[in-house]
Amino acid sequence: MFVDQVKIHVQAGKGGDGIVSFRHEKYVAYGGPFGGDGGNGGNVIFEADPGMTTLLDLRYHRKIKATPGEKGKNKKMHGANGEDKIVKVPLGTIVKRADTGQIIADLTEPHQQTIICKGGRGGRGNFHFRSSRNTAPKYAELGTLGEEFDCIVELRVLADVGLVGFPSVGKSTLLDAVSRAKPEIGDYPFTTISPNVGVVQVKDGRSFIMADLPGLIEGASTGKGLGHQFLRHIERCRVIVHVLDMGGQDGRDPLEDYEIINDELRSYQIRLLERPQIVVANKMDLDDAQKNLERFKEKYPDLEVYPTTTIIHEGLDPVLRRAADLLAVTPAFPIVTEGTSNEGVTYTFEEKKSDLQVTKLGDHLWEISGPRIERVFNIQKLNTEEDYFEFANKMRYLGIDTALREAGCMDGDTVQMLGYQFDFIEN
């Protein structure tokens, strides 16, 4: 089964907690703090595997989780880091965040690795909090949580040349004739329901990868037929071979077909038409083929057309040579997804928002919020006197006390932070 798009949930490992410990050894007076740091959480890493061709494995393993780091140990020993979770995917895989659509990874090289989800940082042991004023700290940090989100994994076939055209125009027959790929061939529409890839060898020694993509129909870019889910594979191709049924079987007009397919490529993504295109007039053995070819050349006099009869391997060498020539001078096209193009974008510059916001909710009621607050404070770890002491130090270090005074907070007012309430008391 060919699977080229999967939505999965990834979760990196939590960092291990630091510990509170003291040195107790004979003949060592005033041993002091001896607690070690927690280990870092494991990362979720995607690796490109040349031996894979589909995302079928991810279809049955939609939740991927790395292991957490171990807690710190006595004698300042560091807890073990969590083991990374390595997920193998085919070459040409793209990973995007489901919430923003941002591309996180584009895996095009064999065994290329990218960290998709970063593990949490391990907490520091009490050894790090010793000072001249506090020689025996009873405080240690908790490990931070690892990243966690949904992502969309897409496979976009890595091929130099892509075959496009209406169903049953001879794309699969062409690929079968010029490579060792064995695509399904039939005299009915949509014989090809998934991309087929083969290595093509030109007689002069050059070679390239060709992909037979499922047939397009009018409206494919809006979701009709099979083309909508496979149009993305053309983005990897540097050269497009447009195959036309010049014989006009089933009452089709090759001139109309040519315009419709190009309109679909244009509607899906403007950069698809920037790729050089080779027009192949197939099925020249049919009765009306020559007449239709003359009509086509009359309408498009500047367009080079290659007459072929793929079923008997006739006229294919010029097409392959032309494709190899174009590949030699055509660079790779960057992957562009919806919403990532910079064309027509107007940039506005705004003042950077503060990491700390003080909001007055009512009489003698205030709220402190901001991304740094959520990142630095762990309200749940307020169990000992040391915890409160460290909490107060952080409040002063971040300037929260000063910000509250400047906003008008008075002695005895109530302050909310991260779902908890505190009394503001002036010393």
Whether the CB-CB separation of 65 and 158 falls below 8 Å is answered with: no
- Residue-level pLDDT at 346: 40
- Residue-level pLDDT at 296: 92
pLDDT digits (tens, 9 = 90+) for 12-48: 999 999 998 998 888 777 788 899 999 999 999 999 9
| Among 14-23, 242-251, 314-323, 339-348, the least confident range | 339-348
Is 191 annotated among the ligand-binding residues? yes
Is 39 annotated among the ligand-binding residues? no
Is 410 annotated among the ligand-binding residues? no
Q: Compute the average pLDDT of residues 215-229.
A: 49
User: 403: which DSSP letter?
Assistant: H
Is 276 annotated among the ligand-binding residues? no
Buried/exposed code over 85-96 (b: 16+ C-beta within 10 A; e: otherwise): bebbbbbbbbbb
- Residue-level pLDDT at 182: 67
Is 194 annotated among the ligand-binding residues? yes
- Residue-level pLDDT at 344: 38
Neighbours of 111 (CB within 10 A): 11
Tell me the pTM: 0.66
Specify the CATH class of 357-423 in words.
alpha beta
Listed in order, strand segments (DSSP E) in 275-374 are: 277-282, 305-307, 357-362, 365-369
| Among 68-72, 75-79, 140-144, 221-225, the least confident range | 221-225
User: 45: which DSSP letter?
Assistant: E
For the residues of 109-134, what is the DSSP string, one character each?
Answer: STT-EEEEEPPPPPPPPGGGG--SS-
Is 137 annotated among the ligand-binding residues? no
Is 369 annotated among the ligand-binding residues? no
Is 104 annotated among the ligand-binding residues? no
At 356, is the pLDDT very low, low, confident or very high (cuts 50, 70, 90)?
Answer: confident
pLDDT digits (tens, 9 = 90+) for 320-335: 999 999 999 988 877 6
At 1, is the pLDDT very low, low, confident or very high (cuts 50, 70, 90)?
Answer: very low
CATH topology of domain 5-155: Spo0b-associated Gtp-binding Protein; Chain: A, (2.70.210)
- Given a cut of 60, whether residue 101 has pLDDT beyond it is yes
Is 282 annotated among the ligand-binding residues? yes
Cα separation of 350 and 352, whole Å? 6
Buried/exposed code over 173-194 (b: 16+ C-beta within 10 A; e: otherwise): bbbbbbbebebeeeeeeebbeb
- Residue-level pLDDT at 130: 85
Give the list of residues 6+ apart from residue 270 with CB closer than 8 angstroms, or none.
none
Q: How many H-runs (helices) and E-runs (strands) does the chain carry?
A: 9, 18
| Among 122-131, 138-147, 373-382, 383-392, the least confident range | 373-382
pLDDT digits (tens, 9 = 90+) for 246-289: 988 777 888 998 998 888 788 776 567 888 999 999 999 988 89
- Closest-CA residue to 240 (of 278, 198, 192, 201): 278
Is 170 annotated among the ligand-binding residues? yes
CATH number of 161-329: 3.40.50.300
Q: What is the CA radius of gyration of the chain?
A: 32
Pairing of strands 357-362, 365-369: antiparallel
> Which residues are registered as beta bridge partners of 423?
414
Residue type, 85: K
At 339, is the pLDDT very low, low, confident or very high (cuts 50, 70, 90)?
Answer: very low
Cα separation of 223 and 229, whole Å? 8
Give the list of residues 6+ apart from residue 396 with CB closer than 8 angstroms, or none.
none
Is 165 annotated among the ligand-binding residues? yes
pLDDT digits (tens, 9 = 90+) for 182-193: 655 545 444 444
- Residue-level pLDDT at 84: 95
- Given a cut of 90, whether residue 8 has pLDDT beyond it is yes
Token pair 């979720």: residue: 44
Strands of the 414-417 sheet, one edge to the other: 357-362, 365-369, 414-417, 420-423
Structure tokens at 317: 């060498």
At 380, is the pLDDT very low, low, confident or very high (cuts 50, 70, 90)?
Answer: low
3-state DSSP percent of the chain in helix, strand and coil, to 5 = 25, 25, 50
Cα separation of 235 and 46, whole Å? 21
Domain boundaries, the chain: 5-155, 161-329, 357-423
Is 168 annotated among the ligand-binding residues? yes
Q: Compute the average pLDDT of residues 391-411.
A: 81
Is 299 annotated among the ligand-binding residues? no
Is 193 annotated among the ligand-binding residues? yes
Listed in order, strand segments (DSSP E) in 91-238 are: 93-97, 103-107, 113-117, 148-155, 161-164, 196-201, 207-212
- Residue-level pLDDT at 353: 54
422-425 long-range contacts, CB within 8 A, separation 24+: 424/366
Whether the CB-CB separation of 144 and 14 falls below 8 Å is answered with: yes
Cα separation of 163 and 157, whole Å? 12
Is 212 annotated among the ligand-binding residues? yes
For the residues of 373-391, what is the DSSP string, one character each?
Answer: HHHH--TT---SHHHHHHH
Is 54 annotated among the ligand-binding residues? no
Residue type, 257: D
Is 262 annotated among the ligand-binding residues? no
Is 285 annotated among the ligand-binding residues? yes
Whether the CB-CB separation of 407 and 366 falls below 8 Å is answered with: yes
Helix pair angle (254-268, 289-299), 10° resolution = 50
